[in-house]
Chain A
């Protein structure tokens, strides 16, 4: 049975097809929707409450690349030997994010022969920052070695990182959590930039362009810790990339979401439009700068 219902969810009037500028500028929820007293979880700090989730996701990046039928390329990945160069907790957390993103790429392409090396490195880095107990190394190794249940490989990898993230926040170490996210972002942007050099697919160009939006949120999270010298240095590098994104223009056309129920499954479809524009020169500069940053972070 196909049931199409008009959406009466919109709480405020929606200007259909009106153009907006930057959704990152005003992101507020009316006060009456949020009960400030209860939104504060255990730690009670606004900073941790507001730390935005899913800024960078290995699964989404790898799915994008694989979806475009781009063949697997081992050269895209960081050499596991590079993991030896990381000494401080900051560096190790950053590397954890980078290798975590590579693991997502390997999992998506089902390259289990390489997975064991990567999960070994990840486990060691996670142990070094006292979160190794949340990385399910044994199960992942068994799945990869026996080449079995590859969906579980993806799920358990993701769940391990989610547990690490939750634990770091709960134990008042949210900076490391933010640094891991930054590592995932750098590697995800790098993989996308490598694909951009071999594919002229419009989706890759748009994905790179929309990193402008994502960088706004990532830097907001990172800036909370800018008094940390490692973070300040890292942020200065990120800011150089962010400057290039000023040349990217993103506009939006607002539409009303549609709700469809099919066989008891409810799907909401957003009808907003996003238009990303940039010159070839800007595009190439962004690719170059992302690759430079990643090279600086991973050379050994």
Chain B
């Protein structure tokens, strides 16, 4: 009996360890996102964790972007969640750019934004179909124009 209990405990520990080893941390996602951003210079990361909901919950980050800078926005989903993150860039009242183009149904891991006006913008992150998710968004600079 003791032997059975010992084997059971070892198996349980093994499963627990395997699961924790596989879980992706936000820090790992930042590194993956950095690779997606390629040669662009890292500026800031944004961590997004949202529960499932209808309408889909959103997480917003205000950010200053500067004229004559080409920025790159990259997004990276945790494989531990179903949700696929979508980023939308807004100024004070308009959506200006997105990583998910509804018209074509295409999802982009990164998009570039050529800024012509220094000012405040909003990054709005949401998970498609309101699924729960964990993701990281990265703001980086491609070049100064």
Interfacial residues, chain A to chain B (CB-CB below 8 A): 5, 8-12, 14, 23-24, 26-30, 33-35, 37-39, 41, 49-55, 57, 59-60, 63-64, 67, 151, 154-155, 158-159, 162, 166, 203, 206, 210, 213-214, 217, 252, 257, 259, 265-274
Can you give 27 contacting A-B residue pairs, CB < 8 Å? Answer: A8-B103, A9-B94, A12-B94, A23-B117, A29-B60, A29-B92, A30-B93, A35-B55, A39-B60, A53-B62, A53-B63, A53-B139, A59-B141, A63-B41, A154-B41, A155-B42, A162-B45, A203-B68, A210-B118, A214-B64, A265-B112, A267-B113, A268-B89, A268-B111, A269-B114, A272-B117, A274-B67
Within 8 A of A (CB), among B40-73: 41-47, 50-51, 53, 55, 57-69
Instruction: Let me know if B95 and A11 touch, CB within 8 A.
Output: yes
- Complex CA gap A8/B101 in Å reads 10
Residues on A with C-beta less than 8 A from B91 are: 23
Q: Judge whether B19 is part of the interface by a CB distance below 8 angstroms.
A: no
Interfacial residues, chain B to chain A (CB-CB below 8 A): 30, 34, 39, 41-47, 50-51, 53, 55, 57-69, 89-98, 101, 103-104, 108, 110-120, 122, 124, 139, 141, 143-144
Instruction: Let me know if A155 and B117 touch, CB within 8 A.
Output: no
- Complex CA gap A233/B77 in Å reads 44
Task: Write the nearest CB–CB distance from A148 to chain B, whole angstroms.
Answer: 17
* Contact count A vs B, C-beta below 8 Å: 164
Instruction: Let me know if A159 and B42 touch, CB within 8 A.
Output: yes
Task: Write the nearest CB–CB distance from A25 to chain B, whole angstroms.
Answer: 9
Instruction: Let me know if B144 and A64 touch, CB within 8 A.
Output: yes
Instruction: Let me know if A38 and B58 touch, CB within 8 A.
Output: yes
Task: Write the nearest CB–CB distance from A150 to chain B, whole angstroms.
Answer: 11
Contacting A10 at CB < 8 Å: which of B39, B57, B95? B95
Residues on A with C-beta less than 8 A from B42 are: 59, 154-155, 158-159, 162
